[in-house]
Amino acid sequence: MIGIYKEKIQSIPCLIILDNDKKDQALPTVTFYHGFTSAKEHNLPLAYLLAEKGYRVILPDSMYHGEREPDVPTLKKQISFWEIVMQNVQELQMIKNYLDENQLLLDERFAVAGTSMGGITTSAALTQYPWIKTAAILMGSPKITTFAKTLVESFKKMGNLPVTDEMIESMYERLEEMDLSLQPEKLHERPLLFWHGENDSVVPFDHSYTFFEEAIELYTNKENIRFIKEPNTDHKVTRYAVLETVKWFDTHL
């Protein structure tokens, strides 16, 4: 039977989904990040399907989301988007440390994935952690500096931002260090899946697709990088995308 366990990994509220009989065993592990304004519980269907395949699945709440959601104005949360992404990347190391310290990770088989903001988190994490064995980016952008500049310009049109130009430039510099599109060689040919709806009105489809076209040239085994595009699909993960993500990890993790 598949169990759902509510745990805090350091200060990170998480759900851990796995076969009850294997709770204390070392298992291959997938950490899956939710999107902006979402929460860890929203990805339970995918986590269940992965747990059925024998994986430990960790669903963390991002800063300002789920159990960590403070009573803050919507604008503050919006302008904190990239801080949340960078915090996710830092906290991924904490999750890996937790698994290592408790001898819960089998043969270093660790994967990361996510939707939208979680997909953006995944792309950034791939530049920082060579111990990620495989990943899936669902409707996320690997071009995080370009995307950040687009969002900042749209916010400026809405009114004065409560941050200085110096703060914005500093953020861009930090993002460049995690920008997968600026350092695709850091993939090191690790298995990577993209899924994106062609009509996405939130995260630009072309960000992920043009990056994929560049990155596949770096792969000796072209089957280790795949792009699934769904026509007539906006910013919502489909059941097909969920099932293909499960298949991806079943094959590559």
Specify the CATH number for the domain of residue 44: 3.40.50.1820
Question: What whole-number percentage of the chain has pLDDT above 70?
Answer: 95
DSSP state of 144: H
What is the pTM for the complete model shown? 0.95
Q: Which of 42-56, 133-147, 161-175, 206-220 has the lowest mean pLDDT?
A: 161-175
If pLDDT is split at 50, 70 and 90, which confidence band does 155 have?
A: confident
Q: How many structural domains are present in the chain?
A: 1
Overall average pLDDT of the 57-68 stretch: 95
Span 131-154, mean pLDDT?
93
Q: What is the mean pLDDT of the chain?
A: 94
- Structural domain boundaries, residue 77: 2-252
Min mean pLDDT across 112-126, 142-156, 239-253 is at: 142-156
Classify 191 as helix, strand or coil: coil
DSSP 137: E
Which helix (H) or strand (E) is 193 found in, with range?
strand 192-197
With residue 148 as reference, give the H or E element that holds it: helix 144-158
Q: Which residue in 143, 209, 212 sits closest to 181, CA to CA?
A: 143
Across 51-65, 97-111, 140-154, 216-230, least confident range: 140-154
pLDDT at 158 over 90: no
- What percent of the chain clears pLDDT 90, i.e. is strictly above it? 87
Q: What is the DSSP string of 3-55?
A: EEEEEEETTEEEEEEEEGGGTTS-EEEEEEE--TT--GGGGHHHHHHHHHTT-
Instruction: Give the HSE-up count for residue 19: Cα atoms under 13 Å, Cβ half-sphere.
Output: 12
d(Cα 77, Cα 148) in Å, to the nearest integer?
15
Across the range 90-94, mean pLDDT stands at 98
Q: What is the mean pLDDT of residues 214-242?
A: 97
For residue 203, which of 152, 142, 134 has the smallest C-alpha distance?
142
Question: What pLDDT sits at residue 165?
Answer: 80
d(CA 110, CA 99) in angstroms, rounded, equals 10
pLDDT at 159 over 70: no
Residue 61 has pLDDT above 80, yes or no: yes
Spatial distance between the Cα atoms of 225 and 132, rounded to a whole number of angstroms: 15
- Whether the pLDDT of residue 59 is over 80: the answer is yes
Q: Helix 239-252 crosses helix 44-52 at what angle (to 10 degrees)? A: 40
Angle at 94 between CA 89 and CA 95, to 5 degrees: 90
What pLDDT shows up at residue 12?
A: 97
Segment 205-221 shows an average pLDDT of 97
What CA–CA distance (Å, rounded) separates 133 from 80?
A: 29
